[in-house]
Amino acid sequence: MKNHVWRPLFVVIAIVAGILTFRFFYVPNDFGSGKYGFMYSYHRASNVGEWKAIEPKYRDTGRQHLHEYCLDCHAGTISIRSEDMHGMISCENCHGPALDHPNEPQKLLIDRSRDLCLRCHTHLPYTTSERKRIPGINPQEHNPGMSCVDCHDPHNPRLEDM
């Protein structure tokens, strides 16, 4: 064969060898492999211990009742929320992590921003998605510049107000 065929072939082989060498030194040995062979997704088996060492920030995780931790002090609000559309949402989704609450109540911030509400209530035109069941608005048309809590009580939202 002529040089015009061999040179590009050697370049491709060198690039592949470089990638494989980089991968050998960069990717951990337990990445993508499990007890029964290859594991789908990006997973490193030794990472499980690292995640267990991280202290949780949320109180409601792993509980049978979403609002169990908040119920002791906020029973009135919880009973209102349990009856409305936001009853299925953990308090910490809007109020943030409650790990140090009530020991340090100032750490639990109340986010009254429009952006928080728009995370779920921006209208999305996906007819095949479960998201279509959530009442959505067009943020540019529905009271732009105003905070949602000026008109709506997030603990007791009413569909007819939206």
DSSP secondary structure code for residue 125 in this structure:
-
145: left (phi over 0), alpha (psi -120 to 50) or beta: left
Give the pLDDT confidence score for residue 121 in this predicted structure. Answer: 84
DSSP secondary structure code for residue 31 in this structure:
B
Q: Are residues 100 and 117 in the same domain?
A: no
pTM above 0.75, yes or no: no
Domain assignment present for residue 150? The answer is: yes
Q: Are residues 95 and 120 in the same domain?
A: no
Alpha carbon distance 6, 81 (integer Å): 72
Give the pLDDT confidence score for residue 84 in this predicted structure. Answer: 61
Q: Are residues 123 and 142 in the same domain?
A: yes
Q: Are residues 82 and 105 in the same domain?
A: yes
Give the pLDDT confidence score for residue 70 in this predicted structure. Answer: 77
Give the pLDDT confidence score for residue 62 in this predicted structure. Answer: 54
Domain that residue 83 falls in? 54-110
Give the pLDDT confidence score for residue 41 in this predicted structure. Answer: 63
Give the pLDDT confidence score for residue 162 in this predicted structure. Answer: 45
The string of DSSP letters for 27-41 reads S-TTBTEETTEE-SS
Q: Are residues 106 and 138 in the same domain?
A: no
Q: For each successive 10 residues of the chain (162 residues), what is the average pLDDT?
A: 81 96 86 63 74 74 61 73 67 75 69 84 76 80 86 71 46
Domain assignment present for residue 21? The answer is: no
